[in-house]
Structure 1
Amino acid sequence: MLRRTFTLGSLAGLTAAVAGLSPDARAQVARPSGGSVDQATVDELRSIGASYRRSYKSFPASSLVPVAHHQLQLAVSLRPKDQPAHLRNSLLEHMAEMAALAAVLLSLDLGDQGQADAYMDLGYQIAKEIDSAELAALILGGRAFRTSYGGDPDGGLDYALAAVAAAERGASQRMRAWTNAVASEMYSSTGDEQGFRASMEDARTLLSGPMDDERWGGIAWFDLSKADAYEGSDLVRLGRPADALPSLNQAIEKLPPEMLRHRCTAYVCRAEAHAGANDVEAACEDGHAALDLVAQVQHRGTLDRVTELHRRLRTHKTAGTRSLGEHVIDTRTLLKTTGSPA
């Protein structure tokens, strides 16, 4: 299945992935006879993959998707099914993590749902094959977003609760916290405030305990500052914009500067909260801040939300709403010129 779905067709991409390895690892990968790969090479590949997953915080989507795909191709070329069990599972974990990264970028940033689904299917199949609670939780959480914002919030909640259950079967503490935050968002999307509050409380409780971050297989990071952003966003969805502002203010204040995507979504959430509280100028100001970050990371989902926000506000016919409308058009044009669908 792996070779049918992801062939080694992109020789240039595979060559670039190999070039990123150390000389010793390159020598291992380049052997024409195949055979067993050493532990050091697999460890190096996993370390590179972890750095790419962290890069989600700030790298443009159109640049990071090919990198994730090339890493997946490289792992396939090492013939994981022919390796000893411990190396096989590690290579397959790397493939699933790269598939999850590509899926999130394609779905939420680039709007290519068909390809995103293919990567998610591959990642989930691998997670089941190697019985990884961490990876199953990660993929199911991604499916929750894909399903809910594809028009089926109840289906999104189903996936989120499945992600929580999978994480409870042995995922890292931070992954368990993240899946509860995802569930809080899905509950809020269905209008269930009690479910939102219970899940958010569980996420915060888990974050306050001891961590085992060497096991974290997620994308980018999840901490209390991001939990604040989830809480504020959830309250906006529940129609409580004034209540959402303190959490969003705190998130924007505490999110590290390099977490550009997370700051991007926090700004658009706060813009929506300001709009809901009838503060048009503050909403426009945060809309501009979100678009500035969209131009850097190519987060199409945020562009769509700012576009919708502007359409709600443009009846006010202020200088601020006109300026935001121009910024939306400029950003959409910019993303087209950089190869990102807009």
Structure 2
Amino acid sequence: MLRRSFTLGSLAGLTAAIAGLSPDARSQIRRPSGGILDQATVNELRSIGASYRRSYKSFPASSLVPVAHDQVQLVVSLRPKDQPAYLRNSLLAHLAEMAALASALQSLDLGDPGQADAYMDLGYQVAKEIESSELAALILAGRAFRASFRGDSVDGLDYALAAVDTAGRGASRRMRAWTNAVASEMYSGTGDMHGFRTCLEQARILLSGPMDDERWGGIAWFDLSKADAYEGSDLVRLGCYAEALPALDKALELLSPEMLRHRGTACISRAEAHAGAGNVEAACEDGHAALLLVAQVQHRETLRRVTALHRTLRAHKTAGTRSLGEHLIDTRTLLKTSGSAV
């Protein structure tokens, strides 16, 4: 299945992936004697993968996608099925994590649903094969976002609740919290206030307990500041604009400065809340802030939302709305120049 899905034609990609390893790990991977790896090499790959997943917070999509793809190809080249069982599952977990990262970047940042689905299908199949509730929940939550962005909020909720259920069967505490937050977003998309409140409260309860973060297989991070951002964004979807603003103010105060994508989504959510509350100039200011972050990380979904915001505001014909429109054009041009789809 792996070789059917991802050919080994990219010698440059494999070379780049191997070059990032320590000398001992490089010699392990290149040696011809049976192809059996040692635990230290596999541990190094997993550590590198964790750093790439954390990098989603702030790295440009066009830089991070090739890295994730190279890691997938590297694992395939190592023939994980030929490794001892205690190494095989760890290698395959690394592959699934990198596939999930590539899928998120292709879907949310670069706007390539075909590639996103291919990575998502690969990651989910591997997660099921190694019986990882952590990674299966991660992929199902990703599918919830994909369905929601296609405009199918009911399908999105189905996937999110499947992710919650799967995470509840052995995933890390932080993954269980995050999948509940995803479900809260999907509930808000269907107009279900009770479902939104219940799931978000469960996410906060889980975050308040002892953590087992050595098991976290998710992308970037999820903490109470992100829970606040989910709350504010969910309330915007429910049309509760005045109630959303304090939650988003709190999220932007607490979100780590390095969480550029997360701050960008919180900025556009607050802009939408201000627009809904009739605060045109404040909405434009947050729209500008979101675009500055889009330019750094190439987050297409935030760009789409700022575009929609501007279209609702431009009838006001203020200096602020005109400036936001100009900033949008400049940002699109910048992303085209950098190779990101717009």
Pair in the same fold by TM > 0.5: yes
**1:128-277 aligned within 5 A:** 128-277=128-277
**1:79-158 aligned within 5 A:** 79-158=79-158
> What CA distance in whole angstroms lies between the structure 1 residues aligned with 2:295 and 2:34?
43
Contact 1:228–1:248 (CA under 8 A) maintained in structure 2:
yes
The alpha carbon displacement at 1:278 in A equals: 0.2
> What CA distance in whole angstroms lies between the structure 1 residues aligned with 2:29 and 2:241?
54
Corresponding position of 1:7: 7
Corresponding position of 1:54: 54
Structure 2: gaps of 5 or more residues = none
> What CA distance in whole angstroms lies between the structure 1 residues aligned with 2:319 and 2:222?
37
> What CA distance in whole angstroms lies between the structure 1 residues aligned with 2:38 and 2:32?
15
Deviations 1:205-249 (A, max 9, x none): 000011000000000000000000000000000000110000000
Contact 1:167–1:175 (CA under 8 A) maintained in structure 2:
yes
The alpha carbon displacement at 1:7 in A equals: 1.1
> What CA distance in whole angstroms lies between the structure 2 residues aligned with 1:149 and 1:22?
40
Corresponding position of 1:314: 314
The alpha carbon displacement at 1:35 in A equals: 2.2
Corresponding position of 1:69: 69
The alpha carbon displacement at 1:34 in A equals: 4.2
Contact 2:96–2:127 (CA under 8 A) maintained in structure 1:
yes
Contact 2:29–2:35 (CA under 8 A) maintained in structure 1:
no
> In the comparison of the two structures, how many residue pairs are matched?
342
Contact 1:34–1:78 (CA under 8 A) maintained in structure 2:
no
The alpha carbon displacement at 1:190 in A equals: 0.5
AA aligned to 1:317 is: K
- Runs ≥4 in structure 1, deviation > 2 angstroms? 32-35
Corresponding position of 1:29: 29
Contact 1:92–1:126 (CA under 8 A) maintained in structure 2:
yes
Query: What is the DSSP-based 3-state SS (H/G/I as helix, E as strand, rest coil) of the residue aligned with 2:239?
Result: coil
The alpha carbon displacement at 1:149 in A equals: 1.1
AA aligned to 1:19 is: A
Contact 1:97–1:123 (CA under 8 A) maintained in structure 2:
yes
> What CA distance in whole angstroms lies between the structure 2 residues aligned with 1:229 and 1:68?
27
> What CA distance in whole angstroms lies between the structure 1 residues aligned with 2:117 and 2:191?
26
Query: What is the DSSP-based 3-state SS (H/G/I as helix, E as strand, rest coil) of the residue aligned with 1:106?
Result: helix
User: Percent identity over the alignment?
Assistant: 81
> What CA distance in whole angstroms lies between the structure 2 residues aligned with 1:264 and 1:281?
18
AA aligned to 2:226 is: K
AA aligned to 1:301 is: E
Structure 1: gaps of 5 or more residues = none
Query: What is the DSSP-based 3-state SS (H/G/I as helix, E as strand, rest coil) of the residue aligned with 2:218?
Result: coil
AA aligned to 1:50 is: A
Contact 1:245–1:273 (CA under 8 A) maintained in structure 2:
yes
